[in-house]
Amino acid sequence: MTTASFDPAALRAAVRGPVALPGEPEWDAARQAWNLAADQHPAAVLHATGPDDVIAAVGCARRAGLRVAPQGIGHGAGALGPLDDTLLLRTTRMTHVEVDAAARRARVEAGAAWEPVARLAGEHDLAALHGSSGTVGVAGYTLGGGLGWLARQHGLASEAVTAIELVTADGRLRRATAEQEPELFWALRGGGGSFGVVTALEFELFPLAEAYGGGIFWPGEHATAVMRAYREWAATLPDSVSTTVRLLRLPPFPQVPEPLRNVPIVDVGLVVAGDAASGAELVAPLLAATPPPLANRVGPLRAPDLAFVHGDPEQPVPGVGHHALLRELPDAAIDALVAVAGADSGSPLLSCELRQLGGALGRRAPGSGALGALDAAFALYGVGIPAGPEVAQAVQERLDAVVEAVAPWQAPTGYLNFADRPGGDSADLFDGATHARLLALKREVDPEGLIVSGHALALPAA
């Protein structure tokens, strides 16, 4: 793109939402993402109030030679590259959520987080396909696929989407459904946020009257035994159960119970979409095959509780992560992970997690979106808190070492929502045909690369 002069007054006159500029009193608050590790320096920040603001802002940015980076709550901010000559378009004032219980559908504005969706749907014994944290944004999560507690039963959140409204680089508000704008509809379901500024999403909800789940925690010295027992147990589970296993070192935060603070822990997280009696029966073989736990926090859940089962932070925190998809988890892979991130490894990471895939996640339905399925057995995600430059470097090096350790079992593709690093190549995330199709659509709808996303589809320099 060519950079012309940016006239903030013209932008302010064109939109209803507040515009913040460098040096102004509200600048630091306006540019701050949920991920406190992201130090964002755009040319300006607009907090859009609705589609009209988005249309006006895209037009102003195009005329001024600025790019536009859509951002919701900002969990994925770490993956955005430098924001020079970029308007950061925040959607956090666009948070309206509607649940139509009879139709089992929800419609949300692009800045909504999952928690209100889970709460409103739960009032009708319905569940959305959100992930482990209610603070994550519906839009960013769903555009990247969306791997949640009901995913082995119902698939990726992107597969439950029925419509997405967005403003494309030409300033047009479009509605993408299976019938209308089908190529955009395909791309937006798991292909990321490169195709426009999403203003609203509509998706299916699923009946969930009762569930069972939580976390079971063991001292870190049992990691190898627990992970091996977990793998055998997980392989026997029906699709109605989703599980994780993590190597943890939890900070002394108030919400972390005393025996779990600052010590190496291995935990298994699970959600059974079913009643407590059948849930307890499914968990029993794991407990029989492992040493006595430090804490067993598994019990009956209602649908909205699923947004909190994992104990993810509920306030903004700094975090950097890295990931890989694994084809299989043999003993050697478990040994490699425990060596690099377990109790005696000296790892500075907060968590090194494996999420069980399979079930509906492995089945690509007719008419599925750009992601459709995850062709792997487990998703590995490591994360650390970069508290100061030295720790930040140690965390990044350890994240590299974790992914390197599992390289022999790594699947050829990746997962956008766990690809946290800036400058990542989207070609590493998708199979060749999917990536080429995404790139072709990006060239068609945004030939100048106006829209900047965390995982930009790299266009040849203009």
Ligand X SMILES: Cc1cc2nc3c(=O)[nH]c(=O)nc-3n(C[C@H](O)[C@H](O)[C@H](O)COP(=O)(O)OP(=O)(O)OC[C@H]3O[C@@H](n4cnc5c(N)ncnc54)[C@H](O)[C@@H]3O)c2cc1C
Q: Which residues here bind ligand X, judged by CB under 6 A?
A: 70-77, 80, 91, 110, 131-133, 136-137, 139-141, 143-148, 192-193, 197-198, 312, 417, 453-454
Q: Copy the structure tokens of residue 46.
A: 């607009």
If 0-12 CB within 10 Å is exposed, 13-18 middle and 19+ buried, where does residue 255 land?
exposed
Query: Least distance from C-beta 70 to ligand X, angstroms?
Result: 4
Is residue 218 within 8 A of residue 291, CB to CB? The reply is yes
Q: How far is residue 342 from each of residues 214, 245, 259, 363, 418, measured CA to CA in Å?
A: 22, 12, 17, 33, 21
Query: Closest Cα partner for 446 from 89, 64, 84, 166?
Result: 166
For the beta sheet containing 105-109, the strands, ordered from the edge strand earlier in sequence to the opposite edge, are 97-100, 105-109, 197-204, 161-167, 173-176
Identity of the residue, 85 or 312, whose beta carbon is nearer to ligand X in the bound complex = 312
Is residue 374 within 8 A of residue 357, CB to CB? The reply is yes
Q: Copy the structure tokens of residue 270.
A: 């699970």
Query: Least distance from C-beta 332 to ligand X, angstroms?
Result: 27
Which residues, including other chains, have CB under 8 Å from residue 400's CB and lie 6 or more apart? Answer: 322
Identity of the residue, 71 or 347, whose beta carbon is nearer to ligand X in the bound complex = 71
Using DSSP's 3-state secondary structure scheme, residue 154 falls into: helix
Identity of the residue, 35 or 290, whose beta carbon is nearer to ligand X in the bound complex = 35
Q: Copy the structure tokens of residue 348.
A: 């500075």
Q: Which residue is nearest to ligand X (CB)?
A: 140
Query: Least distance from C-beta 420 to ligand X, angstroms?
Result: 7
Query: Least distance from C-beta 393 to ligand X, angstroms?
Result: 21
Identity of the residue, 72 or 264, whose beta carbon is nearer to ligand X in the bound complex = 72
Identity of the residue, 75 or 105, whose beta carbon is nearer to ligand X in the bound complex = 75
Query: Least distance from C-beta 365 to ligand X, angstroms?
Result: 18
Identity of the residue, 198 or 337, whose beta carbon is nearer to ligand X in the bound complex = 198
Identity of the residue, 112 or 294, whose beta carbon is nearer to ligand X in the bound complex = 112
Place of tokens 């800045």: 111
Query: Least distance from C-beta 76 to ligand X, angstroms?
Result: 3
Side-chain-side CA neighbours of 183 within 13 Å: the count stands at 11
